[in-house]
Structure 1
Amino acid sequence: MRESVMKGAEAFYKEGNEIGIVVLHGFTGTTQSMRPLAEAYAKEGYTVVCPKLIGHGTTPEDMEQSTAEEWIQSAENAFAWLENRCNRIFVVGLSLGGTLSLYLAANKNVDGLAVINPAVNVPEMVQMAKSELRFVDSIGSDIKKKDVSELTYHKTPVRSLKHLRNLMAKVHEQLSEVKAPMIVFVSEEDHVVPPDNGQTVFDMAFSEEKELVHLENSYHVATLDNDQDLIIERCLEFFSRHVNAKVE
């Protein structure tokens, strides 16, 4: 039986028009980190789903029992929910959410994706996954902005790090299958995922149209940081451009 969900970590669903957007949060994080984006997209009339990834938003002990396959399933279920309602689907993700967005783009018919500090090769986490401890320190709430914090776990299950390591390796191998239009946001200073991950994604994806946006005033959880408005603005412009291009 799964644990009860933290206040603020609940999934977000909003039905709107026939353009759907999947919004995916990060590793050990919650929907709280992505809610400003999800709400901004919904306000524009889009149909938006921001799922709580299995094992997240409850307790570290609950996350310890979850698997990478279940995180993928959470993302795929959200995608399927939109497929039943929409004729075009975009995906947006932060960190692990970015990794899962890339997975969806490589394996589903995605119309475009926006990834924020996506994780595909994080040597420090791979090293932490080798720990003989059950839990290691929290990796959450890497935010430059004063008085802002991420709703996240206070410790990280090592078993979950092993699942993350394997998922990153799988997605890294599939980057050449990512062909949808893409925008990659990269914080120039990130204490969780090395910024070169974003460059790797940008270089290895086969998208004909791709753009790299450097975030100069945010750390890892950029969706809650100083560049939040910039990310929302650039995403909305990206969606609008590709929706209109298909209409034409």
Structure 2
Amino acid sequence: MTVHQVQKGAEEIFHEGNEIGILVCHGFTGTTQSMKPLVEAYAKEGYSIAAPRLKGHGTSPEEMEETTYRDWIQSVESAFQWLEKRCSKVFAVGLSMGGTLALSMAARYDKIAGVVPINAAIDIPAMENIVEQTDDRFIAAIGSDIKKEGIEELAYQRTPVRSIQNLLTLMKEVHDQLAKIHCPIFIFVSEEDHVVPPENSEMVFETVLSEHKELIHLDNSYHVATLDNDQDIIIERSLEFFVMYSNAK
């Protein structure tokens, strides 16, 4: 059995703080490195944090190819269970497919007190075209869509086509769950995104049944907004969100 080494910077992050938990989900082919600025800011405020490394991520594209979207959901659910044992309320935050997974958690678990998707993926026609048109096992990388100069995302340099097929299945499943979401939601969307069409976030905003919902536009970031020019806006507004709904019944 092949043992896959976890890349430096891709490790899972768990921090035991107060009784408010933040579940932080990274994106497709990415790692916790893309979420670390948020994790550090949340931990500094005293929150308990669980930022899992999704199975098959942060090691090799070959290992990712052997995992399914069910494995990714299980990675997030295990982290949620760690928080659930320690916390009275849990918020879910996620970038890209991590936002998709956060939405899935919000649709299925009442203990999710609020959800913060960042450029969440629900419908990506370009990926459907790739699956239909290529016979290749891997395609070029989709990571590091960042406007800010000199910043790189720790992500795979090749993307398994089989994993794209799993992502498409996950997106369809979560799209069908959106109307089950009633908790407060803050949706961040980059005006210019070369991976996930911004219309995805608008679709989420229009479909969820949350009484308290807001769509926040990011004018100076591309897809990996958590590492981009609007990082401080995401941190500041999400922290406000946690405070606002931590005490809500």
TM-score normalised over the length of structure 2:
0.98
Corresponding residue of 2:116: 114
Q: 2:231 aligns with which of 219, 228, 233?
A: 228
Q: Report the 3-state secondary structure (helix = DSSP H, G, I; strand = E; otherwise coil) of the residue aligned with 2:116.
A: strand
Taking the aligned partners of 2:141 and 2:204, their CA distance within structure 1 comes to 25
Q: Report the 3-state secondary structure (helix = DSSP H, G, I; strand = E; otherwise coil) of the residue aligned with 2:173.
A: helix
Corresponding residue of 1:56: 57
Taking the aligned partners of 1:195 and 1:221, their CA distance within structure 2 comes to 13
- Do the aligned residues in 2 keep the contact of 1:67 with 1:160 (CA within 8 Å)? yes
Deviation (angstroms), 1:229: 0.4
Corresponding residue of 2:130: 128
Q: 2:201 aligns with which of 198, 201, 218?
A: 198
Deviates more, 1:121-130 or 1:174-183: 121-130
Q: 1:154 aligns with which of 153, 157, 181?
A: 157
Query: Is residue 103 from structure 1 mapped to residue 104 from structure 2 by the alignment?
Result: yes
1:59 maps to amino acid: S
Deviation (angstroms), 1:18: 0.3
Corresponding residue of 2:87: 86
Taking the aligned partners of 1:52 and 1:2, their CA distance within structure 2 comes to 16
Taking the aligned partners of 1:132 and 1:107, their CA distance within structure 2 comes to 36
Query: Is residue 143 from structure 1 mapped to residue 146 from structure 2 by the alignment?
Result: yes
Q: Report the 3-state secondary structure (helix = DSSP H, G, I; strand = E; otherwise coil) of the residue aligned with 1:213.
A: strand
1:115-158 CA distance string (max 9 Å, x none) = 00000000011111222110011000000000001000001000
Deviation (angstroms), 1:2: 4.3
Taking the aligned partners of 1:2 and 1:125, their CA distance within structure 2 comes to 30
Show structure 2 runs of 5+ residues with no match.
none
Corresponding residue of 1:36: 37
Taking the aligned partners of 2:144 and 2:55, their CA distance within structure 1 comes to 20
Q: Report the 3-state secondary structure (helix = DSSP H, G, I; strand = E; otherwise coil) of the residue aligned with 2:248.
A: helix
Percent identity reads: 59
1:170-212 CA distance string (max 9 Å, x none) = 0001100111100000000000000000000000001110000
Corresponding residue of 2:16: 15
- Do the aligned residues in 2 keep the contact of 1:30 with 1:56 (CA within 8 Å)? yes
2:247 maps to amino acid: N
Corresponding residue of 2:178: 175
TM-score normalised over the length of structure 1:
0.98
Corresponding residue of 1:72: 73
- Do the aligned residues in 2 keep the contact of 1:54 with 1:71 (CA within 8 Å)? yes
Show structure 1 runs of 5+ residues with no match.
none
Taking the aligned partners of 1:210 and 1:68, their CA distance within structure 2 comes to 27
Taking the aligned partners of 2:39 and 2:131, their CA distance within structure 1 comes to 31
1:123 maps to amino acid: P
Taking the aligned partners of 1:188 and 1:120, their CA distance within structure 2 comes to 16
Taking the aligned partners of 2:205 and 2:20, their CA distance within structure 1 comes to 25
Taking the aligned partners of 2:178 and 2:210, their CA distance within structure 1 comes to 10
1:244 maps to amino acid: N
CA RMSD of aligned residues (A): 0.7
Query: Is residue 219 from structure 1 mapped to residue 217 from structure 2 by the alignment?
Result: no
Taking the aligned partners of 1:60 and 1:215, their CA distance within structure 2 comes to 30
Counting matched residue pairs gives 246
